Structure 1
């Protein structure tokens, strides 16, 4: 679950996306390490000691920098610089040093087949989400993406675990917090209702108030 307190995360890129990601991780109870190759950016971030736990100056493509940042003990490497090629290279370097680390790479364009890499677990394209929000708001669309960060709600995915309190039960019988709504079973691609059975191994799309995220984790993960 994204609020587990013991996750060790490295964020490469001290730009807007990297900073916002680090801020959110801090809100979720993590202490990310932020890496950037621009000395002025690093100095500015280091001055705000209440915002970031650790900021490191260096090239995240270099193994030496990654080791200094703690890649060998990291759970996740997020490559969020402004360059797609750099982000891919960072993930490849991270995987070379720490084969089990989970990697996330930011793209500056629509994903293509050329972006497939054994060193990258997840691809993110934040500009695409931002563009959709802008268009929907401009057209006053009746249904707008709840990924818009202007709202207090979050949309998360949770994978149900074997033996969890909700496993094997219908949503009608699960005490889901009133501040959260299970939207869909992402494996069966069906909209959820009271008759939906929580299947271990399936991922569920949930709209929630961040305050009850830990309660959801207990229900779906145990």
Structure 2
């Protein structure tokens, strides 16, 4: 595939390297001379200019591109570049660096194909390292939605349940299941949940605390703190109302940078 990357700074250059390593063709657009020179020294074709100008993008051969990544630190440049990309029927990805407020996201989300917030992605990686092995955030796909991978523990209330018996909060959905160290797959209803199994779940931030309590067995206070919420109603209700289960009978997730 062919990509045009606007901005050869930290985010743009790293993205370009990954794409090139996977065999794709990349042209970069950058108006800062030292930054442009650094990208060229790494073997990239770089167009000199402002990525928010159509003539510059045409010089970068936007007409032949499959996708445009507007990855500068300037939101106006990024948005304008994406609008030009839309005109040329490219897939458009726009970086935002301002405070991750829902208003900013909603303002642009309907007009580009994808919005990324690198600082948030970096924070997810740091959070995963700090939390350890039972919970791993994968991505924020909207201001209020996150995809997480959780590992079932002995302390989890649902340990021993089958997928069909698993009842998550209304704003959470199981996307994939992995038995122990096996690859993730689409779950079937008769799969059992046991210590070490992994579930990938899409959840609203408001119910992450509940999900963590059910699948990992965190206490209500710890789950709420780790999820950044104060709610734990669904998990508490399950713990208080669910009958005890017989474990033996149920032994069978281009601009400024």
The answer, yes or no, to whether TM exceeds 0.5 is yes
Please name the residue that 1:58 is paired with: 49
**Alpha-carbon separation, structure 1, partners of 2:116 and 2:84:** 18
Where structure 1 has 5 or more consecutive residues not aligned to the other structure, the ranges are: 1-6, 148-178, 184-191, 197-204, 206-222
**Alpha-carbon separation, structure 1, partners of 2:94 and 2:128:** 26
Q: 5 Å matches for 1:43-82?
A: 43-49=37-43, 52=44, 54-82=45-73
Normalised to the residue count of structure 1, the TM-score between the two structures is 0.59
Where structure 2 has 5 or more consecutive residues not aligned to the other structure, the ranges are: 140-180, 191-199, 201-257
**Alpha-carbon separation, structure 2, partners of 1:8 and 1:180:** 34
**Alpha-carbon separation, structure 2, partners of 1:75 and 1:195:** 39
Kindly provide the CA deviation profile for residues 78-119 of structure 1, in whole angstroms up to 9, marking residues without a partner as x. Answer: 1000122221111112223x1x1111111114252212343x
Rg comparison, structure with higher value: 2
Q: 5 Å matches for 1:152-167?
A: none
Question: What's the RMSD between the two structures over aligned residues?
Answer: 2.6
Please name the residue that 1:105 is paired with: 94
**Alpha-carbon separation, structure 2, partners of 1:57 and 1:180:** 48
User: Given the alignment of the two structures, is residue 18 of structure 1 paired with residue 30 of structure 2, yes or no?
Assistant: no
**Alpha-carbon separation, structure 2, partners of 1:34 and 1:42:** 9
Q: 5 Å matches for 1:1-222?
A: 7-49=1-43, 52=44, 54-96=45-87, 98=88, 100-108=89-97, 109-110=99-100, 111-118=104-111, 120-140=112-132, 142-145=134-137, 181-183=183-185, 192-193=186-187
Normalised to the residue count of structure 2, the TM-score between the two structures is 0.51
Residues 94 and 116 in structure 2, CA contact (< 8 A), matched pair in contact too: yes
Deviation of 1:70 after TM superposition, in Å, equals: 0.4
* Structure 1 pair 136–48 and aligned structure 2 pair: CA distance change class (3 A): closer
Q: What SS class does the counterpart of residue 58 from structure 2 fall into? A: helix
**Alpha-carbon separation, structure 2, partners of 1:46 and 1:194:** 50
